Structure 1
Amino acid sequence: MNRFANFCAGPAAMPTVVLERAQRELLDWQGKGSSVMEISHRSADYIEVAERAEANLRKLMGISDDYAVLFLQGGAALQFSAIPLNLMNGGTADYLTTGAWSQKAIKEAERYAALGLGKVNLVAAGDGTDVPDVSEWQLSDNAAYFHYCPNETIHGVQIFDTPKVNAPIVADFSSCILSEPVNVNDFGLIYAGAQKNIGPAGLTIVIVRKDLLDRASAFCPNVMNYKNQFDNDSMLNTPATFAWYLSGLVFEWLLEQGGVEAIAVQNRKKAAMLYEAIDGSDFYSNNVNPKHRSIMNVPFRLADDGLDKLFLEENKKAGLLNLKGHRVVGGMRASIYNAITPEQVAALVAFMKEFEARHG
């Protein structure tokens, strides 16, 4: 078996030991004579899988009983609709935009505002390289909620400190969940697609304060209604059972690594190694304000973009995969989620230096 270093932004790399365990259990899970994805989601066996996954996620993130933890479908993009349908409730929703994903979120919320479900206020807009200073923010009085994206996957912009606002904070943690400790009690709702730092595509985690569960619009579809999903243990409809099971294995792996606190130290070291290589070179560049550089998604450009194709061809031959930047920004991007090892980042840095020596 030859496992390459996969720097894809999502679906992203998963821990090899987790995939090996899933491989061993694929045809005969726990001696049941069938795969875990072939058993009923309402069976006692699968409910144990689901409950263990939730308990371990609560342990990893310090989630109290004041919060519901939902395992849903549709990706974070579906939550762009679910959030205003569940929380806007005739009020004003504040949105801070710092990149492509928060821009998509506000555009979706504006669709529902246009239908009379409430209003949307743009607090401030970043340019994809920085976060607007708090002094520039235009916050609403008594907002229904404040939405932002802590880590913009495409642009590589990260907000490390939780905003101080007088409204329930809603945050798209898709590309940074479980990468560093976070105080869940600071938030009204956290949501994240699983396909970056947790498990395979098809599962979305929603962590919502229980006092926010009864605000849904009458127009909110049944399967998007947080209260309905909570009352039915995230099984109002058939859930993404295999993705849920695999995510549970990742939670167990993360606990074995020492939890979020331990993985955060490793993540900071990986990011520092890569940014040091970029900043120490005249050949590579990153235009994000260093104060807000993502530790999960590192975009960079070559001095001569005419070399981009050759760079991608050669790093693939070197066992370094999926380094092409998003089409919105171009260049390169290395997504260094929890499953990416320091050794893999070191291999990328070594390749970058060797490529620069030949073409710089």
Structure 2
Amino acid sequence: MSTTTTRAYNFNAGPSALPLEVLEKAQAELVNFQGTGMSVMELSHRSATFEEVHNTAIANLRKLFAVPDNYEVLFLQGGASLQFTMIPMNFLKEGQTANYVLTGSWSEKAFKEAKLFGEAVAPISTKDNKYKNIPTDVEVAATDAYVHITSNNTIYGTQWKQFPNTGNTPLIADMSSDIMSKPVDIEKFGLIYAGAQKNLGPSGVTVVIVRKDLLENANGNLPTILNYKTFADNNSLYNTPPTFGIYMLGEVLKWIEAQGGLAQVEKNNEAKAALIYDTIDNSNGFYYGHAEKDSRSLMNITFRVADEELEKKFLQEAKEAGFVGLNGHRSVGGCRASTYNAVPVEACQALADFMKQFQANNQ
């Protein structure tokens, strides 16, 4: 039986909405997966049954995201935050610099970790503009081991529309909050990483897509579990992986394919975001966005209500009306609607309608 009527309008920034069809399939298979008499959570990660789940998820990710053969697809743990550490450990060598483009809090955190392992610089930052925009270009030095960007900024609601050209210097991107929300030219990147809990599944799985030649030239004298090559050489099965998370990720990938693939998903996301942005832009200043228009995110719509007391009232009434997760990040306040892949257009339409009615009632 469908649980549609009891579902909240979920605009949480993460963990975030999952496709209802995926949740219902997982519910149906929870205690007896493919006739095994066990849940997928109970399967041995060395079993043929789980290996098929694991390999199918990797194959489908490769297919949907058009990942070239000279890249590895890895499933890790520890979230993007562990990647902040693993990247400089593996790729920042003596005599080199790590180049970080600062566009928000998460790029700041990544930069902070890199400085623990070597020389890290941040020649470009939009902090002076309160992280309202994405830079138009990057600066690359001959000594740069890599250039690191955050493709979408959940807290400030900004997103790279065109990725920078870094030449022979590997471009590394934290895509935690917009991975697989649109087609991407993977060959622009040396490494992409993303926590799954925005667009790809539940929390617990971290996807890493890394060019093989980078692995071959990475630092070798590392703890085994912090070496990317460990996971590449063992099909991400060196130790027990997050089996349920990988199963769910695989089901979300099947759902993305059923939507028509990433090109259609991008169109859906543009349409959903437009419903809310248009409401903001047509409110005559009652609502106003944080991000500059040419840097606006399709995943995280950040905005304020012009009057602080009305903003509190807006958030309270929205909560009472069944909207979840509209409070802005605790570090900046305001309002935020996260419209990830699995957030249905009906939820975005309902929010736009609520915003218009709230304005009409409070002007």
Q: Shorter-normalised TM-score: what interval?
A: over 0.9
* Counterpart in the other structure of 2:272: 270
- Which letter does structure 2 place at the counterpart of 1:172? D
Q: How does 1:2-13 map to 2 (within 5 A)?
A: 2-13=6-17
Give secondary structure in 1 for the equivalent of 2:14. coil
* Counterpart in the other structure of 1:116: none
Q: How many residues align?
A: 353
Q: How does 1:193-272 map to 2 (within 5 A)?
A: 193-218=195-220, 220-272=222-274
Matched, 1:47 2:51: yes
Deviation at 1:176, TM superposition (A): 0.5
* Counterpart in the other structure of 1:145: 146
Matched, 1:356 2:337: no
- Which residue of the other structure, out of 67, 92, 98, is the alignment partner of 2:97? 92
CA distance in 1, matches of 2:165, 2:143: 14
Q: Structure 1 residues 231 and 26, CA, compared in 2 at 3 Å: closer, same or farther?
A: same
* Counterpart in the other structure of 2:340: 337
* Counterpart in the other structure of 1:293: 296
Give secondary structure in 2 for the equivalent of 1:76. helix
- Which letter does structure 2 place at the counterpart of 1:306? E
Deviation at 1:219, TM superposition (A): 5.1
Matched, 1:171 2:159: no
Deviation at 1:142, TM superposition (A): 4.0
- What 5-or-longer segments of structure 1 have no aligned partner? 114-118
Q: Tell whether the 8 Å contact from 2:156 to 2:290 is kept in structure 1 after alignment.
A: no
Give secondary structure in 1 for the equivalent of 2:144. coil
Matched, 1:189 2:191: yes
Task: State which drifts further: 50-59 or 120-129.
Answer: 120-129
Deviation at 1:307, TM superposition (A): 2.4
Give secondary structure in 2 for the equivalent of 1:251. helix
* Counterpart in the other structure of 1:110: 115
CA distance in 1, matches of 2:314, 2:220: 53
Per the normalisation by structure 1, the TM-score is 0.96
- Which residue of the other structure, out of 305, 315, 318, is the alignment partner of 1:315? 318
Deviation at 1:317, TM superposition (A): 2.0
Give secondary structure in 2 for the equivalent of 1:338. coil
Deviation at 1:218, TM superposition (A): 4.8
Give secondary structure in 2 for the equivalent of 1:56. helix
Q: Tell whether the 8 Å contact from 1:157 to 1:293 is kept in structure 2 after alignment.
A: yes
* Counterpart in the other structure of 2:161: 160
CA distance in 2, matches of 1:13, 1:45: 27
CA distance in 2, matches of 1:325, 1:220: 39
CA distance in 2, matches of 1:81, 1:123: 20
RMSD over aligned CA atoms reads: 1.1
- Which letter does structure 1 place at the counterpart of 2:355? M
CA distance in 2, matches of 1:238, 1:156: 35
Task: State which drifts further: 85-94 or 210-219.
Answer: 210-219
Q: How does 1:20-99 map to 2 (within 5 A)?
A: 20-90=24-94, 91-99=96-104
- Which letter does structure 1 place at the counterpart of 2:319? K
- Which letter does structure 2 place at the counterpart of 1:141? A
CA distance in 2, matches of 1:296, 1:21: 25
Deviation at 1:221, TM superposition (A): 2.4
Deviation at 1:342, TM superposition (A): 1.1
- What 5-or-longer segments of structure 2 have no aligned partner? none
* Counterpart in the other structure of 2:121: 121
Runs of at least 4 residues of structure 1 off by over 3 A? 215-219
CA distance in 2, matches of 1:61, 1:133: 25
Q: Tell whether the 8 Å contact from 2:92 to 2:117 is kept in structure 1 after alignment.
A: no
CA distance in 1, matches of 2:220, 2:143: 22
- Which letter does structure 2 place at the counterpart of 1:194? A
CA distance in 1, matches of 2:222, 2:327: 38
Describe the superposition over 1:38-64 as per-residue Cα deviations: whole angstroms up to 9, x where unpaired. 010011110000000000000110011
CA distance in 2, matches of 1:177, 1:348: 24
CA distance in 1, matches of 2:123, 2:65: 28
Q: Tell whether the 8 Å contact from 2:80 to 2:174 is kept in structure 1 after alignment.
A: yes
Deviation at 1:287, TM superposition (A): 2.7
CA distance in 1, matches of 2:173, 2:343: 24
CA distance in 2, matches of 1:321, 1:284: 19
Task: State which drifts further: 212-221 or 79-88.
Answer: 212-221
- Which letter does structure 1 place at the counterpart of 2:159? Q
Describe the superposition over 1:66-91 as per-residue Cα deviations: whole angstroms up to 9, x where unpaired. 00000000000100000001111222
Describe the superposition over 1:201-230 as per-residue Cα deviations: whole angstroms up to 9, x where unpaired. 010000000001134435532112111111
